[in-house]
Amino acid sequence: MKVAITGGTGFIGRELAKRILELGQLTGPSGKLEDIDEIVLFDAVAPSGPLPGLDGRARVMTGDIAERDLVFNLIDRDDISVFHLASVVSGGGELDFDTAIRVNLTGGLNVLEAARARSGTPRVVFASSLAVFGGAAMPRRVGDTTKQTPQTTYGATKAMGELLINDYSRKGFLDGRSARLPTVIVRPGKPNLAASSFASGVIREPLNGERCILPVKPATAMPVLGYRNIVEGFVRLHEVSPEALGDDRAINFPNLTVTVAEMIEGLRRVAGNRHLGEIAVEPDPRIEAIVATWPGEMDATRARALGLPADENIDSIVRAYIEDFLDE
């Protein structure tokens, strides 16, 4: 079978591709385990060099996800599964409404329509976000059935994606599932336009000996999950039977609610004798306003019952980043 990953050359897309290739099999539209013979990492921009950890089964395809014919060329086999990660992120979406709608909504519809055009019911895993929640009536702790009143364009497009996944699944066009993610940490590389980018930066930059400018107050609390369990959660959600999911295909992923101050404390515990760069608190009202619209806690009872993995504590997340990207 084939696997297509949109947003595939981004950090999570690459890690997911490596994990799928390592497993070698996923449940196909047949309902049985099928061997992976092709995996395509689709993205808007080609990577600057080879992607480590991939083999001859993997290739990169570049283009605009809002171009319908291109997406249909990507999703071109009946024996296929799709992981739809491509998205304009939160901060970027607030700066450019039109691009966020074109990429997140039109691009998402292209993915669903291409999957619908295949014979059978391919599985489609959609990367959603805690940003689907918001509004003055939002409780501090949100669950899978909490009303969605997103306060960013990014969150609105993710909520629309969840509804479409539910309806396309209800109609039998595909077998969808939405992974409602907390903030993913620790991402290597450079900061991006996501409003939550600081949650990785406050760990990554000091470990690199670089100065980190923190745009929120240290008391800011947010649900987080380490990238290892994000990747493993995507795979396990893909493998959950449609009967176990029922008519609500969106799942709050397991998470830890921590303050930025607790992230820094965990960093210092795990770093040991490493020299850490300075952390300077310089609140940015624009970033603080976006983060303030998100829930402080996410209930993940349903995800845990389905076997999705969780982190023990913030220290384990920091330790994983050091092992994978600093000590390798």
Active site residues: 154
Tokens 């795990």 belong to 270
- CA-CA distances (angstroms) from residue 158 to 35, 235, 273, 317, 326? 31, 20, 42, 26, 33
The Cα–Cα gap between 197 and 219 comes to 16
Q: What do you get for the CA distance between the two ends of the chain, in Å? A: 32
Q: 124 is written with which tokens?
A: 């489609």
Side chain identity, residue 285: P
Can you spell out the DSSP letters for 176-233? EEEEEE-EEE---SS--S-TTHHHHHHHHHHHTT--EEE-S-TT-EEEEEEHHHHHHH
The string of DSSP letters for 105-161 reads: IIHHHHHHHHHHTSSS--EEEEEEEGGG--STT--SEE-TTSPP--SSHHHHHHHHH
